[in-house]
Amino acid sequence: MTLTEVGQARVRGYLFILERSLRTFLPPAVVADAVREVETHIRERVDQLPDGPDERGMLERLLNELGPPLRVAQAYSMEMTVDEAIVTGRIGAIARGLWNVAASTVGGFAAALGLLTGYSFGLGFLLIAFLKPIFPDNVGFVYENGALKGFGHHVNLGPTAEVRGGYWIIPVCLALGVALLIGTHAVARRLLGWWKQRLAERRMLTESIARR
């Protein structure tokens, strides 16, 4: 279908709102590429439409299938963030990717929470290894009246409390901390890879239904 000036204006308006929405989530340099990609997709879909008197109706159905510009911007931003996290493996990118996953579904929230717990425990073990030589009498296993009460750095110990554990705690906590951080990071990247595949499958299914 060849669009009239009215149809061209409707597409430009959609792309204008999309660009403004994308700027909320992505850097300007990335926004321009994203808008061009969406515009190309719209133009290709328009070319597949038959010429007819109901240009407005067909164009509105096409744009409705794409979704509101804000929702498209959010989906595109999520995909870009997940791609960056998978490729680079940077902590910041992983954190943004996990945030998107957590905000999408209950299962994603639970998975992100579990990974956050893994990162927290890893950092906790490293912190214990760092504090042991500084506070040797306050870092270790705490016993009260012979019963184990906890492990870590403790202050304001009661008269019946006792800290046990020598400097062997340092290499053990270092090893546990590094292993937890590496393992959690690897699982996070695999989760994001699975999430990217799921997004791609969902998009392909939506486009397939839209073309029927």
Categorize the per-residue pLDDT at 33 as very low, low, confident or very high, splitting at 50, 70 and 90.
confident
Rg (CA), the chain: 27
Average of per-residue pLDDT across 25-54 = 81
Evaluate if residue 170 carries a pLDDT over 90: yes
Average pLDDT taken over every residue of the chain: 83
**Cα 110 from Cα 114, distance rounded (Å):** 6
Q: Which residue has the higher pLDDT, 120 or 105?
A: 120
To 10 degrees, what angle do helices 28-48 and 69-88 make? 120
- Whether the CB-CB separation of 38 and 72 falls below 8 Å is answered with yes
**Residues 112-153 pLDDT 10s:** 899 999 999 999 999 999 999 998 888 989 888 888 888 888
pLDDT of residue 207: 55
The CB-based long-range contact list for 183-191 (8 Å cut-off, 24+ gap) reads: 183/118, 184/115, 184/118, 184/119, 184/122, 185/89, 185/94, 185/119, 187/115, 187/118, 188/85, 188/94, 188/97, 188/98, 188/115, 189/85, 189/86, 189/89, 189/94, 191/98, 191/101, 191/111, 191/115
pTM, two decimals, is 0.66
Residue 210 has pLDDT above 50, yes or no: no
| pLDDT tens by residue, 57-91 | 888 888 888 888 888 887 777 777 788 788 888 88
Q: Residue 55 has what pLDDT?
A: 79
Q: Which of 53-57, 132-136, 171-175 has the lowest mean pLDDT?
A: 53-57
Q: pLDDT confidence of 209, banded at 50, 70, 90?
A: very low
